Structure 1
Amino acid sequence: MSLLEPYDHAVIVCQNLDAAVGQWKRLGFTLTPRGYHTLGSQNHCIMFARDYLELLHVTAPTPSRQYYWDAQQRGGGCAATSCKSRDAFATAERLRAAGIERSDPIEFSRPVRLEDGSEHAATFRVTAVDGAPGARYFVCEHRTPELLWRPEWMSHANGATAVAAMYLVVPAAEVESAGRVYAEMTGGEASPLKDGAVRIAIDGAHLVVTSAANLAAQTGTDEIVREENGYAAIRLRTSDIDAARAHWRNAGIAARDLGPRDTLIPAHAANGVALLFTQAG
């Protein structure tokens, strides 16, 4: 039985959030207004139809933010991924029953200001698996989804519509076992791929667990390199790759076309994680 609902979001840690905002706007993304979490972090979100990217900055280390603070001190990058949960407490219990060590659910919020000037508290419950292979994994229960998925924030100049895949690097000897762990945590279906990688289908998105040596085989390019554990790349669907390419040319972004339907934004242009844009459909 599936433990979780669909894929939810990726967390990209930014040492300088102001600089990140400017860069991701140049990449053609619409960002939500800055959020100030009650946990002591700040963010901007890039909203798609049902999932999103989160640009996160931690202002000071606290018990609940220590993991992200440490990632930020190491230079940032994509530090975690999340699936949705209908009930974070129930999911935490299911993970515990499966023998997966996780944190107790915590609840927090951040104010959201809407176009009409009104302000409301967006609230969340999360439970995290800090010991997940390669990087943090957590589940997120959105208590107020109507405050995040709003039309004014879901249209992007680069045509991005969804997260298609996440690429996680672990040691070659651990790929198979890591794939089993993620299949257990997400409730997704794991399939072995060539070169020893494992792909987990998470209802509309994929998590690809691979080794540094085999990363090129899974991403379709040898220009993405990551030797240490963690997320090397995020694949996004775009409704119009040609319009996206025109936007990047005009913005002076050093994008690299990998074929008629795929373009690479290198990691140095996206806070340490490579972006692969793929034509949808």
Structure 2
Amino acid sequence: MTAKVGRVDHPVVAVRDLQQTRAQYQKLGFVVPPSGKHQEWGTENLCIMFPHDYLEIRGIGDPGKFLAGVDTFLEKGEGLYSVAFNAGNADESYQAGLAAGLGIEPPRDLNRKLVLEDKTLDLYFRTVMLDHSLYPGLTHANLCEHLTFDTLRQPGWTDHPNGVVGFGRLVGVVSDFDQAETAYVKLLGADNVRRGADRILLNFGEGADIELISPSEAERRGDAQERLGDAYLASATLLVKDIGRSEALFAANGIRYRKVDDRSLAVDPADACGAHLYFQADGRGAGGA
């Protein structure tokens, strides 16, 4: 891969009120740890952990600091706003990106402080921002190197009542398939980009893959979001151990959903803080890897 881009590390949902969102995602059947604050940025977040990836829910804590575009996105509403790819080594990814002629920024150090009942966790990352032209259909994207991977996953945090074990697929909308194919070949390498007649599939070798579709296909699926234009991150699929168990929990908690087929459910975005989320039976083994 031309910028040493790893697997999908975590999608991000942008919201206005983290505490209300925490309560709502608990109703969806997730174990939701307390919120943490980015010390160098003006953002706060909730991180719902899975064995190999996670879902970040991000809000604004200090509007006077760097917000990575969250404020601009929230002007149009809440929902899926970003994807972070894993970087095994942020410096190596940056240097490889430079050598390949990519628009890429030097790594930034980032610390998230998370206060628990019995201790305070200091979580450390290094993040590399990518030029917007490199990730059509994802709204926003960056590379993330974890320096405290194990600390990020405390006992019990990955044992979700809804049975989720990880991400299976993210879907982005693009209007220009030629431009999107060129951009992702540049970022990921040709072997990881597969162009079809009506879609582009991005493969990372493990974890979630990414499907890029047209605005009309997003409309057909019920995932079109006109407020975001003609290129955006549209939906995410979460893999579960037992779809029947997930459906029973949604029904018990008053979550609105529709049955897509015998293996998958689509939650009403109004019950997921604007995010279009699918829950699907995991046919690939624990963690979806």
| TM-score of the two chains, using structure 2 as the length reference | 0.88
2:154 corresponds in structure 1 to 150
Structure 1 residue 182: deviation in Å? 2.8
2:172 corresponds in structure 1 to 168
1:235 corresponds in structure 2 to 237
Question: Can you list the C-alpha shifts for 1:60-98, whole angstroms capped at 9, x where unaligned?
Answer: 435631411211222121111011111112111212222
From the superposition, tell whether residues 155 and 176 of structure 1 become closer, same or farther in structure 2 (CA, over 3 Å).
Answer: farther
From the superposition, tell whether residues 161 and 183 of structure 1 become closer, same or farther in structure 2 (CA, over 3 Å).
Answer: farther
Contact map agreement 2:78 2:275 (CA 8 A) in 1: no
- Tell me how large the CA RMSD over aligned residues is: 1.9
Structure 1: gaps spanning 5 or more residues: none
From the superposition, tell whether residues 63 and 197 of structure 1 become closer, same or farther in structure 2 (CA, over 3 Å).
Answer: farther
Structure 1 residue 6: deviation in Å? 1.9
Contact map agreement 1:192 1:199 (CA 8 A) in 2: yes
SS of match in other structure, 1:213: helix
Counterparts of residues 62-73 of structure 1 (less than 5 Å): 62=64, 64-73=66-75
Counterparts of residues 12-31 of structure 1 (less than 5 Å): 12-31=13-32
Contact map agreement 1:231 1:273 (CA 8 A) in 2: no
* Counterpart residue type for residue 46 of structure 1: I
Question: Can you list the C-alpha shifts for 1:22-49, whole angstroms capped at 9, x where unaligned?
Answer: 1111111111211011012111111111
1:33 corresponds in structure 2 to 34
Contact map agreement 1:212 1:225 (CA 8 A) in 2: yes
2:223 corresponds in structure 1 to 224
- Give the stretch that moved more between structures: 51-60 or 129-138: 129-138
The percentage of aligned residue pairs carrying the same residue is 26
1:190 corresponds in structure 2 to 193
Structure 1 residue 192: deviation in Å? 2.2
Residue 123 (structure 1) aligned with residue 142 (structure 2): no
Supply the distance in 2 between the matched residues of 1:66 and 1:154 (Cα, whole angstroms).
Answer: 27
Residue 133 (structure 1) aligned with residue 168 (structure 2): no
Supply the distance in 2 between the matched residues of 1:58 and 1:186 (Cα, whole angstroms).
Answer: 31
Task: Give the paired residue count.
Answer: 273
1:262 corresponds in structure 2 to 264
Contact map agreement 1:179 1:199 (CA 8 A) in 2: no
1:90 corresponds in structure 2 to 92
From the superposition, tell whether residues 46 and 92 of structure 1 become closer, same or farther in structure 2 (CA, over 3 Å).
Answer: same
Supply the distance in 2 between the matched residues of 1:61 and 1:184 (Cα, whole angstroms).
Answer: 34
Structure 2: gaps spanning 5 or more residues: 284-289
Structure 1 residue 130: deviation in Å? 4.5
Contact map agreement 2:30 2:48 (CA 8 A) in 1: yes
Structure 1 residue 118: deviation in Å? 2.5
Structure 1 residue 142: deviation in Å? 0.5
SS of match in other structure, 1:15: coil
